[in-house]
Structure 1
Amino acid sequence: MLTAIESEFRRSFLLMRRYPTETLAQIILAVVSFYALIAGGQFMAGGPLLGTRITDLVVGYVLWMLVLNTVGDMGFGIAEEAENGTLEQLFLAPLGPFQLFLIRAVVDLLTSLVFVLLMLAGILWLTGLRLHLSAALLVPFFLALVVALALGLLVASLAIVFKRINQVLSIIQFGFVFLLMIPFDSGIMVLQTIGHFVPLIPMFSLLKMLLHTTGQLAMSATAQLLFWCIVNTAFWLVLGMIAFRQATAVARRKGTIGHY
Protein backbone atom coordinates (compact mmCIF):
# COMPACT_ATOMS: atom_id res chain seq x y z
CA MET A 1 0.00 0.00 0.00
CA LEU A 2 2.73 2.49 0.98
CA THR A 3 4.68 1.58 -2.16
CA ALA A 4 1.63 2.28 -4.30
CA ILE A 5 1.05 5.66 -2.61
CA GLU A 6 4.68 6.62 -3.06
CA SER A 7 4.61 5.52 -6.71
CA GLU A 8 1.52 7.58 -7.46
CA PHE A 9 2.99 10.68 -5.84
CA ARG A 10 6.20 10.15 -7.80
CA ARG A 11 4.24 9.73 -11.04
CA SER A 12 2.28 12.92 -10.42
CA PHE A 13 5.42 14.86 -9.48
CA LEU A 14 7.31 13.64 -12.56
CA LEU A 15 4.46 14.70 -14.85
CA MET A 16 4.42 18.17 -13.30
CA ARG A 17 8.20 18.47 -13.50
CA ARG A 18 8.33 17.18 -17.07
CA TYR A 19 5.66 19.60 -18.29
CA PRO A 20 6.04 22.73 -16.11
CA THR A 21 4.78 25.09 -18.80
CA GLU A 22 1.54 23.08 -19.03
CA THR A 23 0.90 23.45 -15.30
CA LEU A 24 1.75 27.16 -15.33
CA ALA A 25 -0.43 27.74 -18.38
CA GLN A 26 -3.39 26.04 -16.67
CA ILE A 27 -3.07 28.32 -13.64
CA ILE A 28 -2.76 31.46 -15.77
CA LEU A 29 -5.70 30.41 -17.95
CA ALA A 30 -7.88 29.76 -14.88
CA VAL A 31 -7.05 33.16 -13.36
CA VAL A 32 -7.54 35.04 -16.62
CA SER A 33 -10.82 33.21 -17.25
CA PHE A 34 -12.12 34.30 -13.85
CA TYR A 35 -11.06 37.89 -14.51
CA ALA A 36 -12.92 37.76 -17.84
CA LEU A 37 -15.95 36.37 -15.99
CA ILE A 38 -15.81 39.31 -13.57
CA ALA A 39 -15.52 41.78 -16.43
CA GLY A 40 -18.48 40.19 -18.20
CA GLY A 41 -20.53 40.27 -15.01
CA GLN A 42 -19.75 43.94 -14.48
CA PHE A 43 -20.79 44.72 -18.04
CA MET A 44 -24.08 42.81 -17.69
CA ALA A 45 -24.83 44.33 -14.27
CA GLY A 46 -23.95 47.84 -15.43
CA GLY A 47 -21.53 48.33 -12.55
CA PRO A 48 -18.93 46.61 -10.39
CA LEU A 49 -19.77 43.36 -8.60
CA LEU A 50 -19.61 44.17 -4.89
CA GLY A 51 -20.33 42.57 -1.53
CA THR A 52 -21.55 39.00 -1.40
CA ARG A 53 -21.87 38.63 -5.15
CA ILE A 54 -18.15 38.69 -5.86
CA THR A 55 -17.43 36.43 -2.86
CA ASP A 56 -20.03 33.89 -3.98
CA LEU A 57 -18.55 33.98 -7.45
CA VAL A 58 -15.07 33.20 -6.11
CA VAL A 59 -16.34 30.30 -3.96
CA GLY A 60 -18.36 28.84 -6.82
CA TYR A 61 -15.46 29.17 -9.24
CA VAL A 62 -13.03 27.46 -6.85
CA LEU A 63 -15.40 24.53 -6.31
CA TRP A 64 -16.02 24.25 -10.04
CA MET A 65 -12.30 24.18 -10.83
CA LEU A 66 -11.82 21.53 -8.15
CA VAL A 67 -14.44 19.31 -9.81
CA LEU A 68 -13.12 20.17 -13.25
CA ASN A 69 -9.61 18.96 -12.40
CA THR A 70 -10.55 15.94 -10.30
CA VAL A 71 -13.15 14.56 -12.70
CA GLY A 72 -10.95 15.30 -15.71
CA ASP A 73 -7.89 13.63 -14.22
CA MET A 74 -9.78 10.43 -13.38
CA GLY A 75 -11.73 10.20 -16.63
CA PHE A 76 -9.02 11.16 -19.09
CA GLY A 77 -6.43 9.21 -17.10
CA ILE A 78 -8.29 5.90 -17.44
CA ALA A 79 -9.12 6.60 -21.09
CA GLU A 80 -5.42 7.24 -21.74
CA GLU A 81 -4.45 4.02 -19.93
CA ALA A 82 -6.92 2.09 -22.08
CA GLU A 83 -5.64 3.72 -25.28
CA ASN A 84 -2.03 2.93 -24.36
CA GLY A 85 -2.92 -0.66 -23.50
CA THR A 86 -1.82 -0.41 -19.86
CA LEU A 87 -5.25 -0.47 -18.19
CA GLU A 88 -5.31 -4.26 -18.04
CA GLN A 89 -1.92 -4.25 -16.30
CA LEU A 90 -3.34 -2.01 -13.57
CA PHE A 91 -6.18 -4.48 -13.02
CA LEU A 92 -3.61 -7.24 -12.50
CA ALA A 93 -1.74 -5.29 -9.80
CA PRO A 94 -1.53 -6.98 -6.38
CA LEU A 95 -3.58 -4.25 -4.70
CA GLY A 96 -6.54 -4.67 -7.05
CA PRO A 97 -8.23 -2.01 -9.17
CA PHE A 98 -10.37 -0.47 -6.40
CA GLN A 99 -7.51 0.25 -3.99
CA LEU A 100 -5.19 1.33 -6.80
CA PHE A 101 -7.58 3.78 -8.42
CA LEU A 102 -8.71 5.06 -5.01
CA ILE A 103 -5.08 5.90 -4.22
CA ARG A 104 -4.71 7.52 -7.63
CA ALA A 105 -7.89 9.52 -7.07
CA VAL A 106 -6.61 10.81 -3.71
CA VAL A 107 -3.24 11.78 -5.21
CA ASP A 108 -4.92 13.51 -8.17
CA LEU A 109 -7.20 15.31 -5.73
CA LEU A 110 -4.26 16.60 -3.70
CA THR A 111 -2.55 17.73 -6.90
CA SER A 112 -5.74 19.52 -7.93
CA LEU A 113 -5.91 21.11 -4.48
CA VAL A 114 -2.44 22.64 -4.95
CA PHE A 115 -3.54 23.92 -8.37
CA VAL A 116 -6.76 25.41 -6.94
CA LEU A 117 -4.93 27.14 -4.06
CA LEU A 118 -2.41 28.69 -6.45
CA MET A 119 -5.27 29.75 -8.71
CA LEU A 120 -7.13 31.30 -5.76
CA ALA A 121 -4.01 33.22 -4.74
CA GLY A 122 -3.70 34.54 -8.30
CA ILE A 123 -7.37 35.58 -8.36
CA LEU A 124 -7.12 37.42 -5.04
CA TRP A 125 -3.95 39.19 -6.17
CA LEU A 126 -5.38 40.18 -9.55
CA THR A 127 -8.76 41.38 -8.29
CA GLY A 128 -7.59 42.84 -4.97
CA LEU A 129 -10.35 40.93 -3.19
CA ARG A 130 -9.93 40.07 0.49
CA LEU A 131 -11.68 37.02 1.94
CA HIS A 132 -12.25 36.70 5.68
CA LEU A 133 -10.98 33.17 6.17
CA SER A 134 -11.46 31.14 9.34
CA ALA A 135 -10.75 27.62 10.57
CA ALA A 136 -14.46 26.78 10.29
CA LEU A 137 -14.14 26.95 6.49
CA LEU A 138 -11.93 23.87 6.54
CA VAL A 139 -14.85 21.57 7.42
CA PRO A 140 -17.08 22.22 4.37
CA PHE A 141 -14.02 22.49 2.15
CA PHE A 142 -12.76 19.09 3.32
CA LEU A 143 -16.21 17.60 2.70
CA ALA A 144 -16.17 19.17 -0.77
CA LEU A 145 -12.85 17.40 -1.43
CA VAL A 146 -14.41 14.06 -0.48
CA VAL A 147 -17.38 14.69 -2.80
CA ALA A 148 -14.99 15.59 -5.61
CA LEU A 149 -13.21 12.28 -4.93
CA ALA A 150 -16.55 10.45 -5.14
CA LEU A 151 -17.37 12.15 -8.45
CA GLY A 152 -13.95 11.08 -9.71
CA LEU A 153 -14.81 7.46 -8.88
CA LEU A 154 -18.12 7.79 -10.71
CA VAL A 155 -16.41 9.12 -13.82
CA ALA A 156 -13.77 6.39 -13.54
CA SER A 157 -16.59 3.85 -13.50
CA LEU A 158 -17.90 5.20 -16.80
CA ALA A 159 -14.40 5.23 -18.29
CA ILE A 160 -13.76 1.60 -17.31
CA VAL A 161 -16.95 0.38 -18.98
CA PHE A 162 -17.24 2.69 -22.00
CA LYS A 163 -13.59 3.86 -22.42
CA ARG A 164 -14.34 6.85 -24.67
CA ILE A 165 -16.30 9.33 -22.58
CA ASN A 166 -14.80 12.66 -23.67
CA GLN A 167 -18.15 14.25 -24.50
CA VAL A 168 -19.76 12.90 -21.33
CA LEU A 169 -16.88 14.39 -19.34
CA SER A 170 -17.48 17.77 -20.95
CA ILE A 171 -21.17 17.62 -20.03
CA ILE A 172 -20.37 16.66 -16.42
CA GLN A 173 -17.64 19.27 -16.00
CA PHE A 174 -19.46 22.22 -17.50
CA GLY A 175 -22.82 21.10 -16.15
CA PHE A 176 -21.61 22.12 -12.71
CA VAL A 177 -21.51 25.73 -13.83
CA PHE A 178 -25.28 25.67 -14.24
CA LEU A 179 -25.79 23.72 -11.00
CA LEU A 180 -23.89 26.34 -9.01
CA MET A 181 -26.00 29.08 -10.61
CA ILE A 182 -29.31 27.53 -9.49
CA PRO A 183 -30.54 29.26 -6.30
CA PHE A 184 -31.11 26.12 -4.23
CA ASP A 185 -30.94 28.16 -1.01
CA SER A 186 -33.47 30.74 -2.20
CA GLY A 187 -36.11 29.68 0.35
CA ILE A 188 -38.22 27.52 -1.96
CA MET A 189 -38.72 24.22 -0.16
CA VAL A 190 -38.59 22.06 -3.29
CA LEU A 191 -35.29 23.59 -4.43
CA GLN A 192 -33.80 23.29 -0.95
CA THR A 193 -34.74 19.59 -0.72
CA ILE A 194 -33.25 18.85 -4.13
CA GLY A 195 -30.15 20.87 -3.34
CA HIS A 196 -29.40 18.76 -0.26
CA PHE A 197 -28.54 15.84 -2.55
CA VAL A 198 -26.92 17.69 -5.45
CA PRO A 199 -23.12 17.24 -5.21
CA LEU A 200 -21.30 20.15 -3.55
CA ILE A 201 -24.38 22.37 -3.21
CA PRO A 202 -24.65 22.13 0.63
CA MET A 203 -20.91 22.83 0.92
CA PHE A 204 -21.30 25.81 -1.40
CA SER A 205 -24.13 27.19 0.74
CA LEU A 206 -22.24 26.61 3.99
CA LEU A 207 -19.06 28.24 2.69
CA LYS A 208 -21.06 31.29 1.61
CA MET A 209 -22.79 31.50 4.98
CA LEU A 210 -19.52 31.23 6.92
CA LEU A 211 -17.93 33.94 4.76
CA HIS A 212 -20.89 36.30 5.09
CA THR A 213 -21.68 35.93 8.81
CA THR A 214 -19.64 36.55 11.93
CA GLY A 215 -19.99 35.74 15.58
CA GLN A 216 -23.02 33.71 16.66
CA LEU A 217 -25.25 34.70 13.76
CA ALA A 218 -27.28 31.94 12.07
CA MET A 219 -25.77 29.19 14.24
CA SER A 220 -28.84 26.96 13.88
CA ALA A 221 -28.84 27.37 10.10
CA THR A 222 -25.12 26.63 10.02
CA ALA A 223 -25.60 23.42 12.05
CA GLN A 224 -28.41 22.33 9.76
CA LEU A 225 -26.32 22.99 6.65
CA LEU A 226 -23.40 21.07 8.18
CA PHE A 227 -25.70 18.09 8.72
CA TRP A 228 -26.75 18.13 5.07
CA CYS A 229 -23.13 18.51 4.01
CA ILE A 230 -22.30 15.29 5.85
CA VAL A 231 -25.34 13.53 4.35
CA ASN A 232 -24.40 14.76 0.88
CA THR A 233 -20.80 13.58 1.31
CA ALA A 234 -21.78 10.13 2.58
CA PHE A 235 -24.37 9.70 -0.20
CA TRP A 236 -22.01 10.47 -3.07
CA LEU A 237 -19.04 8.63 -1.57
CA VAL A 238 -21.05 5.41 -1.12
CA LEU A 239 -22.53 5.83 -4.60
CA GLY A 240 -19.08 6.34 -6.13
CA MET A 241 -17.59 3.30 -4.41
CA ILE A 242 -20.52 1.05 -5.37
CA ALA A 243 -20.48 2.29 -8.97
CA PHE A 244 -16.74 1.67 -9.28
CA ARG A 245 -16.98 -1.88 -7.95
CA GLN A 246 -19.91 -2.64 -10.24
CA ALA A 247 -18.10 -1.16 -13.24
CA THR A 248 -14.99 -3.28 -12.66
CA ALA A 249 -17.17 -6.38 -12.26
CA VAL A 250 -18.99 -5.64 -15.54
CA ALA A 251 -15.73 -4.99 -17.42
CA ARG A 252 -14.24 -8.23 -16.13
CA ARG A 253 -17.35 -10.24 -16.94
CA LYS A 254 -17.48 -8.89 -20.50
CA GLY A 255 -13.71 -9.13 -20.94
CA THR A 256 -13.46 -5.51 -22.14
CA ILE A 257 -10.82 -4.22 -19.74
CA GLY A 258 -8.11 -4.21 -22.41
CA HIS A 259 -10.40 -2.89 -25.18
CA TYR A 260 -10.50 0.68 -26.41
Structure 2
Amino acid sequence: MSAPTADASVDTGARGYLRFFAASLRKRVLLMVRYPVNFFSTIANMLILFAAVFYGGRAIAPAAISNTIEGIIVGYLLWTLSMSAFSGLSWNVTRESQWGTLEQLFMSPFGFGRVMFAKTVTNVLVSFFTGSLVLLFMMAITGRWLAIDPLTLLPLGLLAVAPAVGIGFALGGLAIRFKRVENLFQIMQFVFIGLIAAPVAQYPLLKWLPLAQGSQLLQTAMRDGVALWALPTGELAVLVVTAVGYLGLGYAAFAYCQRWARREGVMGHY
Protein backbone atom coordinates (compact mmCIF):
# COMPACT_ATOMS: atom_id res chain seq x y z
CA MET A 1 0.00 0.00 0.00
CA SER A 2 1.47 3.30 -1.04
CA ALA A 3 1.94 6.14 1.39
CA PRO A 4 -0.91 8.66 1.52
CA THR A 5 -0.44 11.87 -0.38
CA ALA A 6 -1.66 15.09 1.13
CA ASP A 7 -4.40 16.95 -0.71
CA ALA A 8 -3.33 20.47 -1.60
CA SER A 9 -6.53 21.79 -0.01
CA VAL A 10 -5.76 20.14 3.34
CA ASP A 11 -3.53 21.93 5.81
CA THR A 12 -1.29 19.18 7.18
CA GLY A 13 0.79 21.55 9.26
CA ALA A 14 0.48 22.34 12.94
CA ARG A 15 -2.61 24.49 12.49
CA GLY A 16 -4.43 21.85 10.47
CA TYR A 17 -3.46 19.15 12.94
CA LEU A 18 -4.78 21.23 15.83
CA ARG A 19 -8.09 21.60 13.98
CA PHE A 20 -8.18 17.85 13.50
CA PHE A 21 -7.46 17.31 17.19
CA ALA A 22 -10.20 19.78 18.16
CA ALA A 23 -12.64 17.96 15.88
CA SER A 24 -11.69 14.62 17.46
CA LEU A 25 -12.24 16.03 20.94
CA ARG A 26 -15.56 17.55 19.92
CA LYS A 27 -16.67 14.23 18.45
CA ARG A 28 -15.80 12.42 21.68
CA VAL A 29 -17.72 14.95 23.78
CA LEU A 30 -20.73 14.74 21.48
CA LEU A 31 -20.75 10.95 21.80
CA MET A 32 -20.78 11.32 25.58
CA VAL A 33 -23.68 13.77 25.40
CA ARG A 34 -25.73 11.86 22.84
CA TYR A 35 -25.26 8.48 24.52
CA PRO A 36 -25.51 9.36 28.21
CA VAL A 37 -26.57 5.88 29.30
CA ASN A 38 -23.34 4.39 27.98
CA PHE A 39 -21.25 7.20 29.49
CA PHE A 40 -22.80 6.99 32.94
CA SER A 41 -22.73 3.20 32.85
CA THR A 42 -18.97 3.34 32.37
CA ILE A 43 -18.59 5.60 35.39
CA ALA A 44 -21.01 3.45 37.38
CA ASN A 45 -18.87 0.37 36.70
CA MET A 46 -15.83 2.16 38.12
CA LEU A 47 -17.75 3.32 41.18
CA ILE A 48 -19.30 -0.07 41.88
CA LEU A 49 -15.94 -1.81 41.65
CA PHE A 50 -14.34 0.62 44.08
CA ALA A 51 -17.30 0.39 46.46
CA ALA A 52 -16.99 -3.40 46.42
CA VAL A 53 -13.27 -3.18 47.21
CA PHE A 54 -13.77 -0.61 49.97
CA TYR A 55 -16.79 -2.07 51.75
CA GLY A 56 -15.68 -5.66 51.22
CA GLY A 57 -12.22 -4.90 52.55
CA ARG A 58 -13.62 -2.98 55.50
CA ALA A 59 -15.82 -5.94 56.41
CA ILE A 60 -12.93 -8.41 56.24
CA ALA A 61 -9.99 -6.34 57.52
CA PRO A 62 -11.17 -2.92 58.74
CA ALA A 63 -7.84 -1.95 60.31
CA ALA A 64 -5.85 -2.72 57.16
CA ILE A 65 -8.28 -0.80 54.95
CA SER A 66 -8.27 2.18 57.30
CA ASN A 67 -4.47 2.36 57.32
CA THR A 68 -4.08 2.09 53.55
CA ILE A 69 -7.18 3.79 52.19
CA GLU A 70 -5.28 6.81 50.82
CA GLY A 71 -3.01 4.54 48.82
CA ILE A 72 -6.00 2.55 47.59
CA ILE A 73 -7.74 5.71 46.40
CA VAL A 74 -4.69 7.00 44.53
CA GLY A 75 -3.87 3.58 43.12
CA TYR A 76 -7.41 3.00 41.91
CA LEU A 77 -7.49 6.45 40.31
CA LEU A 78 -4.25 5.80 38.45
CA TRP A 79 -5.47 2.34 37.43
CA THR A 80 -8.67 3.72 35.91
CA LEU A 81 -6.76 6.47 34.07
CA SER A 82 -4.17 4.01 32.80
CA MET A 83 -6.72 1.45 31.67
CA SER A 84 -8.68 4.12 29.82
CA ALA A 85 -5.57 5.48 28.10
CA PHE A 86 -4.30 1.99 27.27
CA SER A 87 -7.51 0.31 26.19
CA GLY A 88 -8.83 3.27 24.21
CA LEU A 89 -6.01 2.99 21.68
CA SER A 90 -5.79 -0.80 21.61
CA TRP A 91 -9.51 -1.40 21.23
CA ASN A 92 -9.78 1.37 18.64
CA VAL A 93 -7.25 -0.38 16.40
CA THR A 94 -8.98 -3.72 16.98
CA ARG A 95 -12.41 -2.34 16.08
CA GLU A 96 -11.09 -0.64 12.96
CA SER A 97 -9.60 -3.97 11.89
CA GLN A 98 -12.87 -5.79 12.55
CA TRP A 99 -14.88 -3.20 10.63
CA GLY A 100 -12.48 -3.26 7.69
CA THR A 101 -11.83 0.49 7.93
CA LEU A 102 -8.25 0.38 9.17
CA GLU A 103 -6.75 1.03 5.75
CA GLN A 104 -8.90 4.13 5.35
CA LEU A 105 -7.14 5.70 8.32
CA PHE A 106 -3.83 5.22 6.53
CA MET A 107 -5.16 7.43 3.73
CA SER A 108 -5.45 10.40 6.06
CA PRO A 109 -3.21 13.30 4.97
CA PHE A 110 -1.96 13.51 8.56
CA GLY A 111 -0.69 9.93 8.55
CA PHE A 112 -1.97 7.00 10.54
CA GLY A 113 0.38 7.50 13.49
CA ARG A 114 -0.61 11.14 14.00
CA VAL A 115 -4.30 10.26 13.70
CA MET A 116 -4.01 7.60 16.39
CA PHE A 117 -1.95 9.91 18.59
CA ALA A 118 -4.65 12.60 18.43
CA LYS A 119 -7.30 10.01 19.29
CA THR A 120 -5.19 8.83 22.20
CA VAL A 121 -4.68 12.33 23.61
CA THR A 122 -8.42 12.94 23.29
CA ASN A 123 -9.11 9.73 25.17
CA VAL A 124 -6.66 10.68 27.93
CA LEU A 125 -8.30 14.09 28.39
CA VAL A 126 -11.73 12.51 28.66
CA SER A 127 -10.38 9.91 31.08
CA PHE A 128 -9.06 12.71 33.32
CA PHE A 129 -12.55 14.21 33.39
CA THR A 130 -14.20 10.92 34.31
CA GLY A 131 -11.35 10.18 36.72
CA SER A 132 -12.03 13.42 38.59
CA LEU A 133 -15.65 12.35 39.07
CA VAL A 134 -14.57 8.95 40.34
CA LEU A 135 -12.04 10.58 42.68
CA LEU A 136 -14.70 12.79 44.25
CA PHE A 137 -16.92 9.75 44.76
CA MET A 138 -14.11 7.74 46.36
CA MET A 139 -13.23 10.52 48.77
CA ALA A 140 -16.89 11.07 49.62
CA ILE A 141 -17.70 7.46 50.54
CA THR A 142 -14.43 6.89 52.40
CA GLY A 143 -14.41 10.23 54.20
CA ARG A 144 -10.73 10.72 53.33
CA TRP A 145 -10.19 13.99 51.49
CA LEU A 146 -6.83 14.10 49.79
CA ALA A 147 -4.85 17.14 48.66
CA ILE A 148 -6.05 18.24 45.22
CA ASP A 149 -3.65 20.72 43.62
CA PRO A 150 -4.25 20.89 39.85
CA LEU A 151 -0.82 22.44 39.23
CA THR A 152 0.70 19.35 40.81
CA LEU A 153 -1.70 16.58 39.88
CA LEU A 154 -2.12 17.36 36.18
CA PRO A 155 1.60 17.19 35.27
CA LEU A 156 2.15 14.19 37.52
CA GLY A 157 -0.95 12.47 36.19
CA LEU A 158 0.02 12.98 32.55
CA LEU A 159 3.55 11.71 33.15
CA ALA A 160 2.27 8.79 35.21
CA VAL A 161 -0.17 7.71 32.49
CA ALA A 162 2.32 8.12 29.62
CA PRO A 163 3.84 4.61 30.03
CA ALA A 164 0.34 3.11 29.79
CA VAL A 165 -0.15 5.00 26.53
CA GLY A 166 3.15 3.55 25.30
CA ILE A 167 1.98 0.05 26.18
CA GLY A 168 -1.28 0.80 24.39
CA PHE A 169 0.65 1.78 21.26
CA ALA A 170 2.68 -1.43 21.43
CA LEU A 171 -0.39 -3.65 21.80
CA GLY A 172 -2.19 -1.60 19.17
CA GLY A 173 0.66 -2.49 16.84
CA LEU A 174 0.25 -6.16 17.72
CA ALA A 175 -3.46 -5.82 16.94
CA ILE A 176 -2.57 -4.50 13.48
CA ARG A 177 -0.28 -7.44 12.81
CA PHE A 178 -2.01 -10.34 14.59
CA LYS A 179 -5.60 -8.95 14.72
CA ARG A 180 -7.04 -11.00 17.58
CA VAL A 181 -5.17 -10.07 20.75
CA GLU A 182 -8.13 -9.16 22.98
CA ASN A 183 -7.19 -11.67 25.68
CA LEU A 184 -3.85 -9.92 26.05
CA PHE A 185 -5.72 -6.69 26.77
CA GLN A 186 -7.55 -8.41 29.62
CA ILE A 187 -4.29 -9.66 31.11
CA MET A 188 -2.83 -6.16 31.12
CA GLN A 189 -5.37 -4.85 33.62
CA PHE A 190 -3.93 -7.21 36.23
CA VAL A 191 -0.38 -6.34 35.21
CA PHE A 192 -1.20 -2.66 35.75
CA ILE A 193 -2.41 -3.41 39.28
CA GLY A 194 0.92 -5.04 40.09
CA LEU A 195 2.90 -2.15 38.61
CA ILE A 196 0.91 0.49 40.47
CA ALA A 197 1.23 -1.40 43.76
CA ALA A 198 4.96 -2.06 43.31
CA PRO A 199 6.87 -1.45 46.60
CA VAL A 200 9.13 1.26 45.23
CA ALA A 201 10.17 2.46 48.69
CA GLN A 202 11.53 -0.98 49.62
CA TYR A 203 12.98 -1.82 46.19
CA PRO A 204 14.13 1.39 44.47
CA LEU A 205 14.92 -0.32 41.17
CA LEU A 206 11.19 -0.94 40.69
CA LYS A 207 10.71 2.79 40.07
CA TRP A 208 11.97 2.23 36.52
CA LEU A 209 8.99 0.02 35.71
CA PRO A 210 5.96 1.55 33.96
CA LEU A 211 3.48 3.30 36.29
CA ALA A 212 5.46 2.49 39.46
CA GLN A 213 7.17 5.87 39.90
CA GLY A 214 4.07 7.79 38.88
CA SER A 215 2.03 5.93 41.49
CA GLN A 216 4.61 6.67 44.17
CA LEU A 217 4.78 10.41 43.44
CA LEU A 218 1.02 10.78 43.10
CA GLN A 219 0.57 9.19 46.50
CA THR A 220 3.15 11.55 47.99
CA ALA A 221 1.45 14.57 46.43
CA MET A 222 -2.13 13.63 47.29
CA ARG A 223 -1.63 11.94 50.64
CA ASP A 224 0.99 14.25 52.11
CA GLY A 225 0.06 17.43 50.24
CA VAL A 226 3.52 17.86 48.68
CA ALA A 227 3.57 20.32 45.78
CA LEU A 228 5.21 19.50 42.47
CA TRP A 229 8.13 21.87 43.03
CA ALA A 230 8.75 20.39 46.48
CA LEU A 231 9.22 16.85 45.20
CA PRO A 232 12.82 15.59 44.92
CA THR A 233 14.36 16.54 41.60
CA GLY A 234 15.86 13.09 41.14
CA GLU A 235 12.49 11.40 41.61
CA LEU A 236 10.87 13.74 39.09
CA ALA A 237 13.69 13.02 36.64
CA VAL A 238 13.00 9.29 36.91
CA LEU A 239 9.31 9.95 36.25
CA VAL A 240 10.08 12.03 33.14
CA VAL A 241 12.57 9.49 31.79
CA THR A 242 10.22 6.55 32.27
CA ALA A 243 7.28 8.49 30.80
CA VAL A 244 9.15 9.59 27.69
CA GLY A 245 11.04 6.32 27.36
CA TYR A 246 8.08 3.94 27.52
CA LEU A 247 5.94 6.22 25.37
CA GLY A 248 8.69 6.41 22.75
CA LEU A 249 9.34 2.67 22.81
CA GLY A 250 5.63 1.94 22.49
CA TYR A 251 5.24 4.27 19.53
CA ALA A 252 8.33 2.77 17.88
CA ALA A 253 6.83 -0.71 18.31
CA PHE A 254 3.57 0.59 16.85
CA ALA A 255 5.35 1.94 13.77
CA TYR A 256 7.35 -1.28 13.36
CA CYS A 257 4.21 -3.43 13.49
CA GLN A 258 2.65 -1.25 10.80
CA ARG A 259 5.58 -1.92 8.48
CA TRP A 260 5.53 -5.60 9.43
CA ALA A 261 1.84 -5.91 8.57
CA ARG A 262 2.44 -4.19 5.23
CA ARG A 263 5.30 -6.54 4.36
CA GLU A 264 3.14 -9.56 5.21
CA GLY A 265 0.17 -8.13 3.30
CA VAL A 266 -2.21 -8.45 6.26
CA MET A 267 -3.00 -4.80 6.90
CA GLY A 268 -6.58 -5.05 5.67
CA HIS A 269 -7.18 -8.66 6.71
CA TYR A 270 -9.02 -9.82 9.78
Residue in 1 that maps onto 2:265: 255
Correspondent of 1:80 among 72, 95, 114: 95
Correspondent of 1:138 among 137, 154, 162: 154
- Could you say what the CA RMSD is over the residues aligned between the two structures, in angstroms? 2.1
Residues 1:211 and 2:226 are matched in the alignment: no
Could you list the per-position Cα deviations for residues 28-72 of structure 1 after superposition, in whole angstroms to 9, with x for gaps in the alignment? 221121111112222332437335x11111110011111111211
Single out whichever of 135-144 and 78-87 deviates more from structure 2: 135-144
Deviant stretches of 4+, over 4 Å:
none
Q: What secondary structure is seen at the aligned counterpart in 1 of 2:199?
A: coil
Could you list the per-position Cα deviations for residues 222-255 of structure 1 after superposition, in whole angstroms to 9, with x for gaps in the alignment? 3222121111112101101211111111111112
Aligned-partner Cα distance in 2 for 1:84–1:48: 47
Following superposition of structure 1 onto structure 2, how do residues 226-245 of structure 1 map, counting pairs within 5 Å? 226-245=236-255
Single out whichever of 7-16 and 99-108 deviates more from structure 2: 7-16
Aligned-partner Cα distance in 2 for 1:182–1:60: 10
Aligned-partner Cα distance in 1 for 2:55–2:64: 8
Correspondent of 1:126 among 141, 144, 150: 141
Aligned-partner Cα distance in 1 for 2:89–2:99: 15
Structure 1, unmatched stretches of 5+, are none
Single out whichever of 116-125 and 128-137 deviates more from structure 2: 128-137
Residue identity over aligned pairs, in percent, reads 30
**Counterpart residue type for residue 22 of structure 1:** N
Correspondent of 1:201 among 199, 202, 212: 212
**Counterpart residue type for residue 210 of structure 1:** A
Aligned-partner Cα distance in 1 for 2:112–2:169: 12
Residue in 1 that maps onto 2:4: none
TM-score (norm 1): 0.88
Residue in 1 that maps onto 2:52: 36
Residues 1:182 and 2:188 are matched in the alignment: no
Q: What secondary structure is seen at the aligned counterpart in 2 of 1:225?
A: helix
Aligned-partner Cα distance in 2 for 1:162–1:215: 45
TM-score (norm 2): 0.85
Structure 2, unmatched stretches of 5+, are 1-16
Residue in 2 that maps onto 1:103: 118
Query: How many aligned positions are there?
Result: 251
